[in-house]
Structure 1
Amino acid sequence: MKFDTVVLGAGIVGVCIAVHLQKRGRQVALVDRKLPGNETSFGNAGLIQREGVYPYAFPRGFGTLLRYALNQSPDVRYHADAIFRTAPFLWQYWRNSHPARHAAIAKSYATLIEHCVSEHRALAADAGASALLRPIGWMKVFRTEAVRDDETRVAERWHREYDIEFEALDAARLQQLEPDLDKTLLGGVRYPQSDSVSDPNALVTAYAKYFEALGGRFFTGDADTLRDGWQVDTDAGTISASSAVVALGPWSDRATARLGYRLPLAVKRGYHMHYAPQGAARLHHPVLDAESGYVLAPMARGIRLTTGAEIADLDAPKTPAQLAAVEPIARTLFPLGERLDDEPWMGRRPCTPDMMPIIGPAQKHDGLWFAFGHAHHGLTLGPITGRLIAEMMTGEATVVDPRPFSVERF
């Protein structure tokens, strides 16, 4: 079976690449071991973060680092053995999180972020999935004055530098928007330009069905069989294509390493659980508890509680200690009822030490392209990544300058 391009990975990024290439007349095969949207793209807070111009940095304050070192913080946990193995990555991540370097990174990163909502809305309209997007924004809420003041200053800075809209919420306004939240909260910050998704898996599935409606084909297959040529084995036989795109998220470095690339990719694992609301309680917006680092998001299945980051090996057994730690706190924030899932879901975020994705051609092979490393913003950046790499592959003028995201920076 011959195609113009084989896209490896059917998460949000891979599906969006496949759609944009198919729309441009390429015959595309999309390959994954699972159905589209059933790995990392399945479990997230459902945010399309227009405000996310600054990617998530490594904390540099001594007090915060000490709290993390004790491994009791609700927002970050780690496996001791993984810390030693990821130490070179963490060192570079910490260096790139210096305020001056972080600000320089944001100038490039913001060029992608500014298109995230518009590209999702356009693709969702084409795929008949607009009802899954909620143009209501999301919010951070605060329990202490110190955190409130710090986060408000951040919002003001983003507004000055990148024209990011925000609404500072006092306690009364917060209760007006979310009457079932904890009445002792001091207030919040709402980011109205961002969208949220009621079912991330359903959204990726809708985009994949649109891809097939355009004439593309999905195959269940093994990306580990990718070989120069470009060939990959699937349940339906061997596929060959003149180009290949690696969009395997946290598994991307396995495929690229076999081809001779040594890329500094690490993972931040995360967990989620769904809950029924108590009684008639309702949550209208996704809400981040700024002091404890978890998100409550209204989803089709129920209220989804998503945790922060766990530094661990890719395939290490689940250790949902963070979920157990924040669930009692979340129950004070919003009246959560019974758990709706049999066990916590775990996903893996693919991260680079400079917090930016790798998007563009490979250095050593003709016809090989990379699109991974989106960390916390895979859902946010899927459609704009798909458009950008499709434009590069077809020789079009690109919507943004792709050079900051080149693999050559490593």
Structure 2
Amino acid sequence: MSADVIVLGAGIIGVSTAVHLVKRGKSVVLVDRRGPGEETSYGNAGLIQREGVVPYGFPQQLGMILRYSLNNRIDAHYHLGALPSVARFLATYWWNSNVSRHQVIARAYAPLIEHSISEHDSLIQEAGASHLIRKDGWTEAFRTKAKQDAEVKEAERLKREYGLNFIVHDARSLADKEPHLSSDFVGGLSWVEPWSVLDPHALTLAYVKLFESLGGRFIHGDATSLRQKGSGWEVMTEEGAVTGKDAVIALGPWSDTVTKPLGYRFLVGVKRGYHMHYAPRDNAVLNGWTMDAERGYFLAPMSQGIRLTTGAEFATRDAPKTPVQLERAEAVARTVFPLAERLDKEPWMGARPCTPDMMPVIGKAPRHNGLWFAFGHSHHGLTLGPVTGRVIAESICGEKPFMDITPYRPDRFSI
């Protein structure tokens, strides 16, 4: 079997890339060992974060670092045994999170975020997936006035610099918005522009259906079998060898299983995360996506139930699950919202691929013709799927990308 392009990885990044390629007349085979959207793209908080122009940085304050070192928080947890293997990544991540460097990175990152809603909107309309989308933003709920004042000050800065809009709530207006939240919160801040997704996995599948309706093919296969074949590329699938002139590596946290054998050494870390779904108790209603800002967990009213998501776990990618953050978050969440029984047999876990400069790797491989990279999107894989897919497809097809992707080029690393 032959195609113009082989896309390795059927998460939201790979699927979006495949859609944009077939829309440009390319024959495309999408390859994954599992079904589309069944790995990292399955378990996120379901937000298209138009406000997320500032990537999540590593804490800079010594006091905060010491508090994280106690390893008893919801928003971050680490495996002690994993620290030696991730130390270089963490050190570089910390260095890039310095205030001045972080601001430079945010300015380079913001254009991707700027187009996140518009690029999703185009695919949502074409895929007939509007029923999966809500357009009413999300809310940070604050337990202290000091935290609220600090976050409002930052939101005002983002509005000045990036045109982002928000609404500030006092305790009463937050209670009007979320009447079943407890009185633990003194106020809140709602971001206006973001969209939320009632079922991220279903959205990925809707994009896959669009891809297939346009002539694309999805096949189960082994991405690690990718090798050069003549002037192109070959990968083994359950339907035999597939060859293509171009290949896109969009394997998220597993991208190194293909890039390393080809001689590329990216410094990419993994932030693992967990979720669980719950039924509401006593007919309680959670009206919108809500974050307990001081504690660092999300409650999201999704199709499968109320999804509770945790922060980041620093561990090796394939280490066994350790959902201690979920246990901590659930204990707190039950005190602020009437959660009933768990709806999943066990906690879901996923792995976010993170670069130390907090920006994805998007562009042509420096030392191989016809090889393209699209991974490392950290917390914003769902947010940046379609915009990444478009700029990669435009590059492969010889078009000028509609936005400058130079800041995300692979060769910014020592590879």
Fold agreement, TM-score > 0.5: yes
Match of 2:355 in 1: 352
- What one-letter code is carried by the residue in structure 1 that aligns with 2:92? Q
- What one-letter code is carried by the residue in structure 2 that aligns with 1:130? S
State the distance in 2 between where 1:235 and 1:401 align: 38
Unaligned regions of 5+ residues in structure 1, if any? Answer: none
Match of 2:215 in 1: 215
State the distance in 2 between where 1:169 and 1:392 align: 44
Question: Is the partner of 1:395 in helix, strand or coil?
Answer: coil
Counterpart check, 1:399 vs 2:390 = no
Question: Is the partner of 2:235 in helix, strand or coil?
Answer: strand
Match of 1:57 in 2: 57
Match of 2:8 in 1: 8
Match of 2:204 in 1: 204
Deviation of 1:397 after TM superposition, in Å, equals: 2.3
- What one-letter code is carried by the residue in structure 1 that aligns with 2:221? G
Q: Is the 8 A contact 2:227 2:235 kept in 1?
A: yes
Matches within 5 A, 1:212-361: 212-229=212-229, 230-361=233-364
Deviation of 1:149 after TM superposition, in Å, equals: 1.3
Question: Is the partner of 2:389 in helix, strand or coil?
Answer: helix
Question: Is the partner of 2:291 in helix, strand or coil?
Answer: strand
- What one-letter code is carried by the residue in structure 2 that aligns with 1:282? V
Question: Is the partner of 1:282 in helix, strand or coil?
Answer: coil
Match of 2:130 in 1: 130
Question: Is the partner of 2:126 in helix, strand or coil?
Answer: helix
Number of residues paired by the alignment?
Answer: 410
Q: Detail structure 1 runs of 4+ shifted over 3 Å in the superposition.
A: none
Q: Is the 8 A contact 2:16 2:385 kept in 1?
A: yes
- What one-letter code is carried by the residue in structure 2 that aligns with 1:408? D
Deviation of 1:385 after TM superposition, in Å, equals: 0.4
Deviation of 1:184 after TM superposition, in Å, equals: 3.0
What is the TM-score normalised by the length of structure 2?
A: 0.98
Match of 2:22 in 1: 22
Deviation of 1:8 after TM superposition, in Å, equals: 0.2
What is the TM-score normalised by the length of structure 1?
A: 0.99
Question: Is the partner of 1:224 in helix, strand or coil?
Answer: strand
Counterpart check, 1:373 vs 2:383 = no
Deviation of 1:183 after TM superposition, in Å, equals: 2.1
Deviation of 1:396 after TM superposition, in Å, equals: 1.5
State the distance in 1 between where 2:184 and 2:363 align: 48
Q: Is the 8 A contact 2:184 2:336 kept in 1?
A: no
State the distance in 2 between where 1:48 and 1:333 align: 25
Deviation of 1:225 after TM superposition, in Å, equals: 0.5
State the distance in 2 between where 1:83 and 1:260 align: 25
- What one-letter code is carried by the residue in structure 2 that aligns with 1:158? L
- What one-letter code is carried by the residue in structure 2 that aligns with 1:4? D
State the distance in 2 between where 1:382 and 1:315 align: 24
Match of 1:37 in 2: 37
State the distance in 2 between where 1:137 and 1:74 align: 23
Matches within 5 A, 1:50-199: 50-199=50-199
Deviation of 1:105 after TM superposition, in Å, equals: 0.5
Question: What fraction of aligned residue pairs are identical, expressed as a percent?
Answer: 58
- What one-letter code is carried by the residue in structure 1 that aligns with 2:237? T
For each residue in 1:20-58, what CA deviation from the matched residue of structure 2 results, as whole angstroms up to 9, or x when unmatched? 000000000000011111000000100000000000000
State the distance in 1 between where 2:178 and 2:30 align: 41
State the distance in 1 between where 2:368 and 2:338 align: 54
State the distance in 2 between where 1:246 and 1:184 align: 46
RMSD: 0.7
State the distance in 1 between where 2:338 and 2:386 align: 35
For each residue in 1:125-183, what CA deviation from the matched residue of structure 2 results, as whole angstroms up to 9, or x when unmatched? 00010111100100110001221111111111111110111111111111111111112
Deviation of 1:400 after TM superposition, in Å, equals: 1.1
